[in-house]
Structure 1
Amino acid sequence: MTLYRQLLLWMLVVLFLLTSTVFAIQFNTTKNYLIEQQSTELNNVVSSVGFALSPYLKTNDFIATESVINATFDSGYYSKVKLTLLDSNKEIIRQYPQIIKNVPNWFKSVVHIDAITQTRTLTNGWLQLAELTVISSPASAYIQLWQATVQLILGFIACLLLGAIVLSLVLNKVLKPLKQIQKSAKEMASNHFTAPLPTPHTRELVDVVTAFNSMNIQLQQHFEQQAQEADTLRVRAYQDPVSGLANRSYLMTKLNSWLTNKPTGGIILLKSDAIEDSYQQAGYELGDPLVLKLAERLKELSADDITIARLNQSEFMLIAPNVSEEDLTDTARVMLSMTSELNLDPLGIAPLQAAAGIVMCSETLTITALLAHADNALNKARQQIKEPLALLEVSANKTIPAIGKQQWNALVDEAIANNLIHFTFQKAIDANNAIIHKEMFAYIKKGQQKFNAGQFLSALEKLNDGAKFDRYIIDTIFNKFTKQTKSVPVAINITQSSINDTGFIRWLNNKLQSCPQMKQHVLFELPEICFIKNIDNTRLLCEIIRQNGFQFGIDNYGHNFSSTGYLNQLRPHYVKLDFAYTSQLDDQVKMDVLESITRSANNLAVMTIASRVETVEQKQKLTLLKVQGFQGYVTEELVNGEMK
Structure 2
Amino acid sequence: MIQLHTTRNFLIEQQSTEMDNAISAVGMALAPYLEANDKVSAESVINATFDSSFYSEVTLSILHDEAEIKRTFPSKTTEVPDWFSRLIVIDTITKSSTLTSGWMQLANLTVTSSSTRAYSQLWQASMQLVFGFAVTFLFGLVFLALILSAVLKPLKLIQLRAKAMSNNQFGEPLPIPRIRELSDVVHAFNHMSSQLKVHFEQQAQEADNLRIRAYQDPVSGLANRSYLMTQLTSWLSTSQEGGIALLKVDLIADAYAQDGYETGDHLVQILAAKINILATEHYTIARLSQSEFMLLAPRITAAELKTIGQIMLQITFELQSDPLNIAPTQAAVGLVMRNIDDNMSTLLAQADNALTQAKQHPQEPLVLFDIAANTTKTRQTTMGKQQWKSLVDEAIANKLFKFTFQKAIDQNNKILHQEVFAYIQKGNQRYSAGQFLGAIEELNVGKYMDMHIIEELFNMLSNDKSAGNVAINITQSSVNDTGFMRWLANKMQSTPQLKERILFELPEICFIKNSDNTGLLCEIINKNNFSFGIDNFGHNFSSISYLNKFRPAYVKLDFAYTNQIDNQVKADVLASITRTANNLSITTIATRIETSSQQEKLSKLMIRGFQGYAVDKMNNEKSI
Corresponding residue to 1:480 among 438, 452, 460: 460
Aligned residues: 620
2:428 counterpart of 1:451: no
- SS of the equivalent of 1:520 reads coil
Is the CA contact (8 Å cut-off) linking 1:270 and 1:356 kept in structure 2? yes
Corresponding residue to 1:148 among 116, 120, 125: 125
Partner residue in 2 for 1:409: 389
**Structure 1 CA distance, aligned partners of 2:137 and 2:371?**
90
**Structure 1 CA distance, aligned partners of 2:466 and 2:17?**
85
Q: Which moved more, 1:417-426 or 1:626-635?
A: 417-426
Partner residue in 2 for 1:107: 84
**Structure 2 CA distance, aligned partners of 1:620 and 1:426?**
19
2:481 counterpart of 1:501: yes
Corresponding residue to 1:525 among 501, 505, 528: 505
Corresponding residue to 2:290 among 305, 308, 313: 313
Is the CA contact (8 Å cut-off) linking 1:191 and 1:605 kept in structure 2? no
2:186 counterpart of 1:206: no
Q: State the 1:76 CA deviation.
A: 3.9
**Structure 2 CA distance, aligned partners of 1:640 and 1:280?**
55
1:447–1:642 CA distance, 2 compared to 1 (3 A): closer
Q: State the 1:425 CA deviation.
A: 0.8
- SS of the equivalent of 2:615 reads helix
Corresponding residue to 2:308 among 310, 324, 331: 331
Is the CA contact (8 Å cut-off) linking 1:355 and 1:389 kept in structure 2? yes
- SS of the equivalent of 1:122 reads strand
Residues 387-406 of structure 1: matches in 2 within 5 Å?
387-395=364-372, 397=375, 401-406=381-386
- SS of the equivalent of 2:544 reads coil
**Structure 1 CA distance, aligned partners of 2:599 and 2:577?**
17
Q: State the 1:206 CA deviation.
A: 1.0
- SS of the equivalent of 1:633 reads coil
Residues 88-99 of structure 1: matches in 2 within 5 Å?
88-99=65-76
**Structure 1 CA distance, aligned partners of 2:348 and 2:118?**
113
2:281 counterpart of 1:304: yes
**Structure 2 CA distance, aligned partners of 1:47 and 1:643?**
110
**Structure 1: where are the runs of 5+ without partners?**
1-23
Q: Which moved more, 1:533-542 or 1:111-120?
A: 111-120
The one-letter code matched in structure 1 to 2:267 is L
Partner residue in 2 for 1:633: 613
Q: Which moved more, 1:195-204 or 1:525-534?
A: 195-204
Which digits, 9 at most, give the CA deviation of each residue in 1:374-420, with x for residues without a partner?
10010111122431110112446465722111111111111111111
Corresponding residue to 2:231 among 254, 258, 261: 254
Which digits, 9 at most, give the CA deviation of each residue in 1:478-533, with x for residues without a partner?
11111122321111111111111111111111111111111122100000011110
Partner residue in 2 for 1:376: 353
- SS of the equivalent of 1:341 reads helix
Is the CA contact (8 Å cut-off) linking 1:423 and 1:442 kept in structure 2? yes
2:269 counterpart of 1:292: yes
Is the CA contact (8 Å cut-off) linking 2:329 and 2:362 kept in structure 1? no
Partner residue in 2 for 1:17: none
2:597 counterpart of 1:617: yes
- SS of the equivalent of 1:445 reads strand
**Structure 2 CA distance, aligned partners of 1:208 and 1:126?**
93
**Structure 2 CA distance, aligned partners of 1:453 and 1:263?**
10
Residues 37-186 of structure 1: matches in 2 within 5 Å?
37-58=14-35, 60-74=37-51, 76-186=53-163
Partner residue in 2 for 1:462: 442
Q: State the 1:254 CA deviation.
A: 0.9
Corresponding residue to 1:540 among 515, 520, 534: 520
- What is the TM-score with the length of structure 1 in the denominator? 0.92
Partner residue in 2 for 1:442: 422
Is the CA contact (8 Å cut-off) linking 1:268 and 1:357 kept in structure 2? yes
Is the CA contact (8 Å cut-off) linking 1:362 and 1:399 kept in structure 2? no
**Structure 1 CA distance, aligned partners of 2:423 and 2:41?**
122
Partner residue in 2 for 1:491: 471
**Structure 1 CA distance, aligned partners of 2:370 and 2:233?**
19
Q: Which moved more, 1:393-402 or 1:486-495?
A: 393-402
- SS of the equivalent of 2:499 reads helix
2:247 counterpart of 1:267: no
Corresponding residue to 2:565 among 578, 582, 585: 585
The one-letter code matched in structure 1 to 2:304 is D
Is the CA contact (8 Å cut-off) linking 1:442 and 1:453 kept in structure 2? yes
**Structure 2 CA distance, aligned partners of 1:140 and 1:517?**
67
Q: Which moved more, 1:166-175 or 1:408-417?
A: 166-175
**Structure 1 CA distance, aligned partners of 2:378 and 2:362?**
29
Q: Which moved more, 1:540-549 or 1:93-102?
A: 93-102
Q: Over aligned residues, Cα RMSD in angstroms?
A: 2.1
Q: State the 1:202 CA deviation.
A: 2.3
The one-letter code matched in structure 2 to 1:476 is E
**Structure 2 CA distance, aligned partners of 1:600 and 1:144?**
77
Q: Which moved more, 1:173-182 or 1:274-283?
A: 173-182
Corresponding residue to 1:422 among 399, 402, 419: 402
Is the CA contact (8 Å cut-off) linking 1:428 and 1:435 kept in structure 2? yes
Corresponding residue to 1:230 among 207, 210, 218: 207
1:461–1:102 CA distance, 2 compared to 1 (3 A): same
Is the CA contact (8 Å cut-off) linking 1:262 and 1:363 kept in structure 2? yes
1:444–1:276 CA distance, 2 compared to 1 (3 A): same
**Structure 2 CA distance, aligned partners of 1:492 and 1:101?**
74
2:256 counterpart of 1:279: yes
Partner residue in 1 for 2:198: 221
The one-letter code matched in structure 2 to 1:553 is G
Which digits, 9 at most, give the CA deviation of each residue in 1:161-194, with x for residues without a partner?
4444444444333322211111111111122222
Q: Which moved more, 1:375-384 or 1:104-113?
A: 104-113
**Structure 2 CA distance, aligned partners of 1:463 and 1:443?**
19
Identity of aligned residues (%): 59
Q: Which moved more, 1:437-446 or 1:173-182?
A: 173-182
Q: State the 1:605 CA deviation.
A: 0.7
Q: Which moved more, 1:40-49 or 1:160-169?
A: 160-169
Q: State the 1:633 CA deviation.
A: 0.4
- SS of the equivalent of 2:464 reads coil
**Structure 2 CA distance, aligned partners of 1:315 and 1:193?**
43
Which digits, 9 at most, give the CA deviation of each residue in 1:38-57, with x for residues without a partner?
11111111122233334544
Which digits, 9 at most, give the CA deviation of each residue in 1:222-243, with x for residues without a partner?
0110000000000000000000
Q: State the 1:616 CA deviation.
A: 0.4
Which digits, 9 at most, give the CA deviation of each residue in 1:223-273, with x for residues without a partner?
110000000000000000000000011111111111122241010000111
**Structure 2 CA distance, aligned partners of 1:506 and 1:629?**
31
**Structure 2 CA distance, aligned partners of 1:435 and 1:419?**
29
**Structure 2 CA distance, aligned partners of 1:592 and 1:395?**
41
Q: State the 1:121 CA deviation.
A: 2.3
**Structure 1 CA distance, aligned partners of 2:413 and 2:284?**
32
Q: Which moved more, 1:72-81 or 1:30-39?
A: 72-81
Is the CA contact (8 Å cut-off) linking 1:265 and 1:399 kept in structure 2? no
Is the CA contact (8 Å cut-off) linking 1:361 and 1:399 kept in structure 2? no
**Structure 1 CA distance, aligned partners of 2:143 and 2:457?**
54
**Structure 1 CA distance, aligned partners of 2:620 and 2:331?**
57
Partner residue in 2 for 1:242: 219
- SS of the equivalent of 2:413 reads coil
Q: State the 1:603 CA deviation.
A: 0.7
Is the CA contact (8 Å cut-off) linking 1:101 and 1:143 kept in structure 2? no
Is the CA contact (8 Å cut-off) linking 1:598 and 1:627 kept in structure 2? yes
